[in-house]
């Protein structure tokens, strides 16, 4: 199957609504509604780095989009459009078909339209650029945490890291944990509900300690976190801060979004992160978080 047949068969959808020109021209033309700002994010998944080469193509299609949607969620954005740069070692129609099914299932349920991309031959890798919309000036950022704020995390932290550790060590993991690793649920409704409530927000992709560190650095603050030692990474949950008086509103938003949200600590004026276990003892995290190009 050739490049153009493949694009047409699996990725070309008719332009509709805000998509004035979609797949099939030199570039897409998109209508941004007045009063909104465009939020843009890119994430790449590389075979052997972000996923096992033999992962099911449908779950890979899901995850490639999910990790980008998670970034839109962390900004409080509503998903609108995405592009897909696909590098394939070969054009296996069965593989591409399953990949596209996983991708479009999540795209349709999230209200995001594929509007363009690129298709090339080489070692398997997937780059998605996702675009979303927020009302002017309302995007959530990493930089707004204030002294005394509560720190919250959505969902459960550690399932994906546990699944990855199991798979590396034993080659297997319980189905529920595998799903948390391969099919994360981006917290889109929660992210949008947090507009005007959260003072700072980030998605937990590289590990809670490292990602909280980004909020603290951007906000010029420190934090005290009460959690027993935990594994984290690939969680795609939201980590956010809010004023203490917003607690009831945050919990109501979480319930409305069918999402568990747990307060885990406080923002402090002094820089530095203090992790406190169930016995009240401070401890150091075993692994601070994932980084490409880090020393072995």
3-state secondary structure of 292: coil
Q: Are 145 and 200 in contact (CB under 8 A)?
A: yes
The correct pick among 7, 39, 202, 209 for binding ligand ADP (CB under 6 A) is 7
Is residue 79 a contact residue for ligand ADP (CB under 6 A)?
no
Any idea how long the chain is?
A: 296
The correct pick among 25, 108, 244, 277 for binding ligand ADP (CB under 6 A) is 25
Is residue 277 a contact residue for Mg ion (CB under 5 A)?
no
Angle (nearest 5°) at CA 237 between 231 and 240: 105
The correct pick among 19, 45, 60, 86 for binding ligand ADP (CB under 6 A) is 86
Q: For the chain, how many helices (H) and strands (E)?
A: 8, 13
7: its two tokens:
């694009």
Taking CB under 6 A as the binding criterion, the range among 22-30, 57-65, 89-97, 281-289 that sits at the site for ligand ADP is 22-30
Number of Cβ within a 10 Å radius of residue 97: 13
How many chain residues interact with ligand ADP (CB under 6 A)?
Answer: 13
The correct pick among 19, 23, 73, 80 for binding ligand ADP (CB under 6 A) is 23
DSSP state, 97?
Answer: H
The correct pick among 118, 270, 277, 287 for binding Mg ion (CB under 5 A) is 118
- Closest to ligand ADP by CB, 118 vs 277, is 118
Is residue 263 a contact residue for ligand ADP (CB under 6 A)?
no
How near is the Cβ of 43 to ligand ADP at its closest, in Å? 15
How near is the Cβ of 113 to Mg ion at its closest, in Å? 19
For residue 154, the number of C-alpha atoms closer than 13 Å in the C-beta half-sphere is: 33
Q: Which helix (H) or strand (E) holds 98?
A: helix 93-110
94: its two tokens:
């069965």
Show the beta-strand stretches assigned E in the chain. 19-21, 29-30, 36-46, 78-88, 113-121, 125-135, 150-154, 198-204, 222-226, 237-242, 261-268, 272-276, 282-283
How near is the Cβ of 25 to Mg ion at its closest, in Å? 12
Q: Which of residues 89-148 bind ligand ADP (CB under 6 A)?
A: 114, 116-119
Is residue 88 a contact residue for ligand ADP (CB under 6 A)?
no
Is residue 97 a contact residue for Mg ion (CB under 5 A)?
no
User: Given the rule CB under 6 A, which residues bind ligand ADP?
Assistant: 7, 11, 23-26, 84, 86, 114, 116-119
User: Given the rule CB under 5 A, which residues bind Mg ion?
Assistant: 118
């Amino acid at each position: 199957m050739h490049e153009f047949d493949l694009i047409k068969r699996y990725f070309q959808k008719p332009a509709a609504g805000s998509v004035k020109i979609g797949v099939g021209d030199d570039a897409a033309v998109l209508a941004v509604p007045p009063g909104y700002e465009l939020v843009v994010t890119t994430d790449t998944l590389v075979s052997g780095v972000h996923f096992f080469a033999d992962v099911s193509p449908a779950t890979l299609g899901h995850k490639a989009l999910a990790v980008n949607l998670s970034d839109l969620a962390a900004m409080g954005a509503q998903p609108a459009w995405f592009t897909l740069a696909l590098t394939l070692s070969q054009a296996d129609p069965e593989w591409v078909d399953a990949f596209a099914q996983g991708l479009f299932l999540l795209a349709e349920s999230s209200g995001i339209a594929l509007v363009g991309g690129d298709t090339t031959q080489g070692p398997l890798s997937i780059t998605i650029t996702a675009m979303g919309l927020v009302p002017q000036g309302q995007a959530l950022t990493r930089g707004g945490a204030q002294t005394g704020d509560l720190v919250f995390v959505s969902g459960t932290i550690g399932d994906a890291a546990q699944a990855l550790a199991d798979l590396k060590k034993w080659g297997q993991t319980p189905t529920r944990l595998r799903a948390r690793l391969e099919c994360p649920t981006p917290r889109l409704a929660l992210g949008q509900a947090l507009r005007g409530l959260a003072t700072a927000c980030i998605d937990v992709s590289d590990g809670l300690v490292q990602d909280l560190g980004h909020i603290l650095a951007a906000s010029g603050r420190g934090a005290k976190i009460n959690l027993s030692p935990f594994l984290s990474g690939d969680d795609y949950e939201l980590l956010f801060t809010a004023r203490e008086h917003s607690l009831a509103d945050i919990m109501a938003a979480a319930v409305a979004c069918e999402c568990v949200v747990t307060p885990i600590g406080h923002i402090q004026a002094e820089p530095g992160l203090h992790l406190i276990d169930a016995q009240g003892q401070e401890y150091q995290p075993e692994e601070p978080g994932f980084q490409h190009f880090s020393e072995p």
